Amino acid sequence: MGSFTITPCEFYLYSGNAIDVYVSFNPDQEGHLSENLILACDNQTSEFYKVAGYGAMLDLDIIAVDGKEVNFKANPFETIFFENTNPTAESKRTISIKNGSPIAVPFHWSIYKEKNSNKISLQDEQTHYRVVP
pLDDT digits (tens, 9 = 90+) for 70-98: 877 777 666 677 888 888 888 888 888 88
Same domain? 92 vs 130 = yes
What would the pLDDT profile of 98-124 be if each residue is shown by its tens digit?
Answer: 888 888 877 777 766 666 656 655 554
pTM: 0.52
Cα(58)–Cα(104) distance, integer angstroms: 10
**Contact (Cβ atoms closer than 8 angstroms) between residue 59 and residue 102:** no
Same domain as 28, residue 92: no
Domain of 50 in residue numbering reads as: 4-55
Question: How many Å apart are CA 25 and CA 5, to the nearest integer?
Answer: 7
Q: What is the DSSP string of 5-51?
A: EEE-SS----TT-----EEEE--SSSEEEEEEEEEE-TTS-EEEEEE
Of residues 14 and 120, the one with the higher pLDDT is 14
Q: Do 23 and 68 fall into the same domain? A: no
